[in-house]
A and B are shown apart, each in its own frame.
Chain A
Amino acid sequence: MPSAPDIAPALPAGCVDFNKLHSLIAKGDPDAVAKATVIPDAELPTPLVEASAPAKAE
């Protein structure tokens, strides 16, 4: 079973849910920071509009 890292990982220049980070670090999850990073809705990239499918030849 993975154990908590010896040293705290670097945090991003963003928002972090520390409670989630804490729980993941306690479980030794190697992706704890990525999973605990929160991107506010207003800062999410605008979804790209899907290109319409090419028309089928009859």
Chain B
Amino acid sequence: MAFRSQFTSVAVAVQSSVDTWGSPSSADLFPCANVRLSKESITAENPEYLGTVDKPGDFVLGQKVSLTLSIPIRAPGGASPPAAGAFIPGRFLRAAGWTENILSAAVPVAAEALGVGSTTTAAKLGSTAVATAQLYKGLALNLSDNGTGYNRQLTAIRDYTSAKLATIAETLGSPPAANYQIPKQLAYQSGASGVPPVLSLSVWYDHSRYDLLNMTVSSLKFTFPASTRNSTEYPMIELTLDGDLYAFADEDAPLVGALGAIPTFKDGDFWVAGKALGGSSFSVDMGIQVGYPPNPNKASGNDAAQITQTKRTAQINLNHNLKATIDFEALALAQAQQCLWAQYGYVAGNCVSFIIPNGRFAYANVDNSGEFVTQTIDMLIDDSAKAVNLIFPF
């Protein structure tokens, strides 16, 4: 009987150290899409002369193993952030050099009065806030007089100063003057220090299991298509991982529990450079490069892959705007840092917030090949710490 593609399962565990199998278990299974295990032979031409026109075949030196997969962006659910390491998509982000920042309690625990000095683009935090610059950068913030309802009152912090001034990603109708609270949240923030962990994955194809060791994230992209009456897309994390084959065995694919509906990118916020703008989508490529330090002591001839650099870029696809609304020519010329923020979902534990606090705009490209004239803008990211943030507020 042929193997059926629908019987594909994936489990992932963070390794305690390089070369130590992480033993992913049934608790580490997760639903994902577009799972493609690629095994490519490393060959080299045999240059030896054999006294005939018939050359010998290539030498087979080893194999390259990589795995691509996509994960729909789904908040963890529940009333509070999960325990450290429990949110399975977050394991991939940590392996890509991100921090999993867990706020299991709001700061402050009870909403507190704002300080004096807020503006339409900045909130002056109150007495509980710590006067340490950038401590709250990239986190969600609740402002009690920012509209009605949980999701409307949420915003995101793009900059925080030692004077307790939190610059936010949106432009309010009037300066906030009531209470603030940094809500419970699970925040993934790029640009972490130190060496990211590597992953162990098991991939089942119906009756076979491939175990993959020392898997390093070699490509990480986020896509956020707007959900419209014509769109059938939804936000996804797209990943490629490179590493080694650890084991290959015959075993039936285990059942993976369905996680249900996902929040879609609509009825929310999409702010670019402090303006709420319409558009079809945006995407972020973390531009990861990995290298393989040579090491003849290892079976593969090299150490596990390491991330050697990232070059982060966002691409924003907007409906064409009036110059009077937002002048992308002037913004590209000025090369000042601007913010991109998206948020959607309705209730605590099922909201998604994504913020790039700072990025410079390249010149916008204009396209009239579709129904509507569009502007496509590349956003070039310079920041290191907390440059890209994926947040699940509670």
Q: Is the CB of A13 within 8 A of B84?
A: no
**Which chain A residues lie closer than 8 Å to B112 at the CB level?**
none
> Which listed residue, A7, A18, A42, A44, touches B103 by the CB 8 Å rule?
A18
**Which chain A residues lie closer than 8 Å to B13 at the CB level?**
42-43
> Which listed residue, A22, A25, A40, touches B85 by the CB 8 Å rule?
A40
Chain B positions 180-197 with a Cβ under 8 Å from a chain A Cβ: 187, 189, 191-197
Give the distance to chain B from A25, nearest Cβ to Cβ, in Å. 6
| Interface flag for A50 (CB, 8 Å) | no
| Interface flag for A12 (CB, 8 Å) | yes
Q: Is the CB of A7 within 8 A of B133?
A: yes
Known pairs A19-B107, A40-B84, A43-B85; A13 contacts B132 (CB<8 A):
no
Tally of A interface residues using CB under 8 Å = 26
Chain A residue with minimal CB distance to B135? A8
Q: Is the CB of A10 within 8 A of B192?
A: yes
| 0 or 1 for each of A8-29: is its CB under 8 Å from B? (1 = yes) | 1011111111110010011000
Q: Is the CB of A45 within 8 A of B104?
A: no
Q: Is the CB of B197 within 8 A of A14?
A: yes
**Which chain A residues lie closer than 8 Å to B131 at the CB level?**
4
Chain B positions 1-57 with a Cβ under 8 Å from a chain A Cβ: 13-17, 20, 22
| Interface flag for A30 (CB, 8 Å) | no
Chain A residue with minimal CB distance to B83? A40
Q: Is the CB of A22 within 8 A of B130?
A: yes
**Which chain A residues lie closer than 8 Å to B133 at the CB level?**
6-8
From B93-101, B227-235, B261-269, B272-280, the one touching the partner chain is B93-101
Q: Is the CB of A25 within 8 A of B130?
A: yes
- Tell me how many residue pairs across A and B have CB atoms closer than 8 Å: 103
Tally of B interface residues using CB under 8 Å = 41
Known pairs A8-B137, A11-B192; A16 contacts B94 (CB<8 A):
no
Chain B residues within 8 Å of A, Cβ to Cβ: 13-17, 20, 22, 83-86, 94-95, 97-105, 107, 130-135, 137, 162, 187, 189, 191-197, 385
Q: Is the CB of A12 within 8 A of B134?
A: no
Give the distance to chain B from A24, nearest Cβ to Cβ, in Å. 10
Instruction: Report Cα–Cα, A11/B188, bound state, in Å.
Output: 11
Q: List 7 A-B pairs, Cβ < 8 Å.
A: A8-B133, A11-B385, A12-B192, A14-B99, A19-B107, A25-B132, A46-B20
Give the distance to chain B from A39, nearest Cβ to Cβ, in Å. 8
Known pairs A11-B99, A16-B99, A45-B16; A40 contacts B195 (CB<8 A):
no
Q: Is the CB of A13 within 8 A of B97?
A: yes
Q: Is the CB of B104 within 8 A of A19?
A: yes
> Which listed residue, B22, B83, B135, B137, touches A25 by the CB 8 Å rule?
B135
Q: Is the CB of A11 within 8 A of B101?
A: yes
**Which chain B residues lie closer than 8 Å to A6 at the CB level?**
132-133, 162
**Which chain B residues lie closer than 8 Å to A42 at the CB level?**
13-14, 22, 85
Instruction: Report Cα–Cα, A45/B83, bound state, in Å.
Output: 19
Q: Is the CB of A26 within 8 A of B130?
A: yes
**Other CB < 8 Å A-B pairs besides A12-B193, A16-B102, 5 of them?**
A8-B135, A11-B385, A12-B194, A13-B194, A19-B107
Give the distance to chain A from B23, nearest Cβ to Cβ, in Å. 9
Instruction: Report Cα–Cα, A6/B94, bound state, in Å.
Output: 26
**Which chain A residues lie closer than 8 Å to B98 at the CB level?**
13
Give the distance to chain B from A48, nearest Cβ to Cβ, in Å. 12
Give the distance to chain A from B299, nearest Cβ to Cβ, in Å. 21
**Which chain A residues lie closer than 8 Å to B130 at the CB level?**
4, 22, 25-26
> Which listed residue, B107, B137, B197, touches A13 by the CB 8 Å rule?
B197
**Which chain B residues lie closer than 8 Å to A44 at the CB level?**
16
- Pick from A5, A11, A17 the residue with the most CB of B within 10 Å: A11
**Which chain A residues lie closer than 8 Å to B192 at the CB level?**
10-14
Give the distance to chain B from A34, nearest Cβ to Cβ, in Å. 11
> Which listed residue, A5, A16, A39, touches B101 by the CB 8 Å rule?
A16
- Pick from A4, A10, A42, A44 the residue with the most CB of B within 10 Å: A42
Give the distance to chain B from A18, nearest Cβ to Cβ, in Å. 5
Q: Is the CB of A19 within 8 A of B105?
A: yes
Q: Is the CB of B16 within 8 A of A13?
A: no
Give the distance to chain B from A10, nearest Cβ to Cβ, in Å. 4
Q: Is the CB of B101 within 8 A of A18?
A: yes
